[in-house]
Copies of this chain bind each other. A is one copy, B any other.
Amino acid sequence: MSDYLTEEEFLKNYDSSIYDKLSMTTDILILSVSSKDSNNYRKTDKKMMSILLVKRDDYPYKDKWCLPGGFLNPKTETLEDCTKRVLKRETNLEDIYLEQLYTFDRIDRDPRMRVISTAYVALIDKNELKQDVKNASWFDITLIEEKDGVVFLVLDNGTETISFEVNKVLRNKITDRYDYISNKNNMLAFDHDVVIVSGIEKIKEKVNSSDIVFNMMPEYFTLGELQQVYEVLLGKKLIDAPFRRIIASKVEKTEKMKTGEGHRPSYLFKYKTQK
């Protein structure tokens, strides 16, 4: 039948209602690095990875914490437009590092109806955030990967502690990607436990092969601070000399110094944009 139509005619007569439809949302992992005050005036602050969560004020999952997110307007928005809109609403930030993480589509992930959600990761320097967002809070992340494929995660915002477990199962005989499956979680809304774990793992994977770390740094930083952020993301201690050799090509020394720390002052560096 359509053989006798031109493409223009076909589109004019097309009835888009013949296919079942669904709603989409985006969820954002807004990640940053926080500093935990040391009591000793000499010692540097302990750094941790942290994530911004909001408390749901309506059903479903009323009063549970969840990732910032929102419904896509299919008529006007791309998923990234939607993500930026949410990000602006929650943090008032624009022009920041944003990367599509994964599209989560478990059939029963939203009890209201079928909703598929594309998750994005945003990396920010938390200190640029002046504004305090109501119903939102930064949680420090402690991630413990156990041997038998269980990831145990603890989120702490100072007054509340959220903990949950996610199973990592190989999706293929030929070792590569994992599926993340919710194990124990009654503190986070939706499937956001799984979203958070896979997002954190993805960022960790990319630390060594890219410069994404600098998205979480202020304009000027000491190499010690930079090393600490790498250490937090990689989850291990680095040795000074080789670390400095490796990042030497990525940073630019300035004349500025950081003083008043109870020990030898250090030079401030900038990220070197050019390759």
Contact surface of A with B, Cβ cutoff 8 Å: 2, 5, 7, 10-11, 14, 16, 19-24, 58-62, 71-80, 97-100, 102-103, 105-107, 111-114, 116, 118, 171-177, 206, 210-212, 214-215, 271, 273, 275
When distances are taken between beta carbons in the complex, the residues of chain B under 8 Å from A105 are: 78-80, 118
A99 to B16: give the CA distance in the assembly, Å: 29
- Do the beta carbons of A113 and B23 come within 8 Å of each other? no
When distances are taken between beta carbons in the complex, the residues of chain B under 8 Å from A99 are: 171, 176-177
- Do the beta carbons of A19 and B23 come within 8 Å of each other? yes
Q: Output the least CB separation between A119 and chain B (Å).
A: 10
- Do the beta carbons of B59 and A114 come within 8 Å of each other? no
- Do the beta carbons of B176 and A21 come within 8 Å of each other? no
Residue of B with least CB distance to A19: B23
When distances are taken between beta carbons in the complex, the residues of chain B under 8 Å from A275 are: 175
When distances are taken between beta carbons in the complex, the residues of chain B under 8 Å from A98 are: 171
A24 to B105: give the CA distance in the assembly, Å: 11
- Do the beta carbons of A11 and B112 come within 8 Å of each other? yes
Partner of A79, one of B60, B103, B176: B103
Partner of A118, one of B19, B59, B103, B206: B103
- Do the beta carbons of A210 and B19 come within 8 Å of each other? no
Residue of B with least CB distance to A274: B175
- Do the beta carbons of A112 and B212 come within 8 Å of each other? no
- Do the beta carbons of B59 and A11 come within 8 Å of each other? yes
A100 to B171: give the CA distance in the assembly, Å: 12
In the complex, 13 of the A-B residue pairs with CB atoms within 8 angstroms, ordered by the A residue number, are A2-B62, A7-B60, A7-B61, A19-B71, A21-B23, A22-B22, A98-B171, A103-B103, A174-B212, A174-B271, A175-B210, A176-B210, A176-B211
User: Chain B CB within 10 Å — which of A7, A19, A77, A173 has the most?
Assistant: A19
12 more contacts with CB within 8 A, not counting A22-B22, A22-B24, A97-B174, are A7-B59, A10-B59, A10-B60, A16-B23, A16-B113, A20-B23, A21-B74, A22-B23, A77-B107, A79-B103, A105-B118, A174-B215
When distances are taken between beta carbons in the complex, the residues of chain B under 8 Å from A20 are: 23, 73-75
A215 to B5: give the CA distance in the assembly, Å: 43
- Do the beta carbons of B59 and A212 come within 8 Å of each other? no
